[in-house]
Structure 1
Amino acid sequence: MPSSFRGLPPIVWTIFAGTIINRLGYLVTPFLVFFLASRGVTGADTSYVLGALGAGNLLGPAVGGILADRIGRRPTMLIGLIGAASAQGALFLAPGVWTMAAAALLISAAGSTVSPAAFALLADAVDSDRRQRAYALFGWGVNIGTAVAGVLGGYLAAVGYWLLFAVDAGSMLLFALVVAVRLREPKHTPTTEAATDGIGYGVVLRDRLALLLLPLFGVQLFVYSLTEVALPLAVHDSGLSPAVYGAMAAVNAVLVVALQPFATAWLARLPQLAVQSAGSALIALGVALTGLADGIAGYTLSVVVWSLGEVAVAGIAAGVIANLAPAHARGRYQGAFSWTWGVARFAALTLGVATYTTLGPATLWWTALLAGTTTAAATLALTTRVTRRTTHTLAA
């Protein structure tokens, strides 16, 4: 194991292992369109269910951040995992489009409450110097589980869609068992700030530096999310088969799983925001190169470029936000960050696709390049303020 992950406490490794288990069951969402078609749901009705799934990712993080600070990290994770597992069964058994949409909303809302609580728990468990590495390990677990799930899902779907739901729900319940048995709620000493800040997001909204960083990270996440949304459209419009997109996804998975631990160890010696800015610019360049690709070689090059950027930025944004947060509000800061991530993905699904189909692919690729590089430069410009703030927080 690379040195970057050595010395992390057992709680971090427990969350890492549980995350792999959970993501191994990430099967329903990638195959949801195919499942809906098997139930006779097509066209506009499909968009209602997918829209509800996206909307849940906006609701869940906000609720999860508040619950993590209010009732605790561990109970919030259990509520999210058990709730999402129950919703999987509800979706499979739903008799109509609107009940399917309601179940899809619950799946994503409950499932996305877990990340703010898990991220806050990681921040509680390690000091500021190791948080980026802890978050990078968490992200590595996501990628390992997702890569295996991509292969497993195709096989199970061919046997029967009920298996997708059973494995997805089962993996969530197994992670919940890990949380219940292996994790312990950290003890927090009540403070004056905790009493005066209340339980809402006012503590984040009053933080000017966080309000500068979150939109910048949001735009960068939007550009990255185009790899899941616009890339398959581009591959399709090039006359290539869906298997080519599957191969591109495999290239990304292999690169990230193989390189991330070593990249984290090597890049840990460099200033975090400098690495974040460089990686975000690399992602933007890779996404923009999609517009120049017209064959397998071109698409492979673009995937390699943005995958290297993805490897570079792993865990940095979440770590920076965690270092800005007072101890009593870590859940809400991570809730705000997770909500930003949800908004970015929702915008990619809506604005990104609309730009591609109405204004043309070139407009989307140039916009991605400009947005990614501009926000990378703006993030780098905040280095001094972030360093001064985090140094002061640690000294206090």
Structure 2
Amino acid sequence: MAYRCSLMSRCGRTRRIFFLLGMATIAMTWMMSGGDDADQDGKAEGSKTKEKASFVELKPTGDTTDAAEMPLPLDETRLHSWNRFDGSQKTKTNPDADDESKVHILIFSAQRSGSSFLGEVFKQHPDIFYAFEPVRPLTFDVLEGKLSNRLFDVKAREKLYDFFKCKNANLRYVTRYKTDLGFRKRYKTVDYTKLCRQKRHVAVKEIRFYDLKGLQSFAEDPSLNFKIVHLVRDPRAIINSRAQAYFRNHDFMRKGVPWDEVTDLCNDMQENLRFVRSSPTWLRGKYILLRYEDLASEPLQTTKHLYSFIGVKLHDDVIRWILQNTKEERGGALSTTRNSTERVVAWKQEMSFDQVNDVQLKCADAMTMLGYLPVADETAMRRDDANFISDHSKYFLEFPYRV
């Protein structure tokens, strides 16, 4: 009897072991099956999310090509190394990022006006998500015939709206790599939607909006706390800076206008300044005019004015960056580290008088309104003590909104 009990105990333990092993096998099989189902569900959900993210509230008419998925030309590799989505922005999750205090800032400027430097003033703030020229790929889509030029402005506004709303906030860029057959290109689209949503505010720097009037819908959108920082610069310095850069002005090529680049720049500047002087009601409280020369000569004081205007508290990180990056020149034409006061008048040593005079004639109205003083001859232009900007221009002081 004792033998039978002992045997039964052993048998019982054996049965229990096999039972537990069987249950574990069943559980593992179920988990693996469930995991596959969950993965499929996740893929389906991801597909739904992607479909939802591609929805744009500002719908275009006509061509519905998804320009954001088009590749960029090979020779634009160096341009896209400018991309300021370099992971250096702090990723501090902010649970209140979607509250009503969220500010949507647009740096509205022309190419080579100092907008990248100004953009860094916002990027350094830990509560601001900063987007560097998200409209750029659309220019090359037009040049490659993948997007109608007449739809460019519509698509550009859609892209800006997506970044302000942290919806489908992606940027496409291209890299080059060398093979035995020569250089090849690799395309990549990076989605910054999650990072954007972690920040309290959004700032976008863009040089491809030429008509200030086209931004009225953003200013009147009740879901946006829209602020325009209109950065202007001495057109002589702009043209000189473009000449010093190693790339062509693809945005001017994209526009396809019958006049030269200087005329194009001056026309845009003058039309926008005249519009501002007409005091449109929708700009009130949403617009500020800033001369690059004021930012360069008094970077910290001007930055304080800017942050006061947008209603965001100035952070110590911003102050620290300004103090570290405005005293010396390094990094070449695309660098944001500048001896800012020297760059204000670098054009007078780097341009000929004929080049300067061409700009002065074509930009006379804009220069007068903004207080940029013309030079009469080369001797006057080369003088070290010459003054090329006035703080007392009656035209500039007439502007209703300025720093």
Q: Name the TM tier (shorter chain).
A: under 0.3
Query: How does the TM-score come out when normalised to structure 1?
Result: 0.25
**In proportion to residue count, which structure has more helix?**
1
Query: Which structure's CA Rg is the greater one?
Result: 2
Normalized per residue, the structure richer in strand is 2
Taking structure 2 as the reference length, what is the TM-score of the superposition?
Answer: 0.25
Q: Which has the higher contact order (CA 8 A, sep 6+)?
A: 1
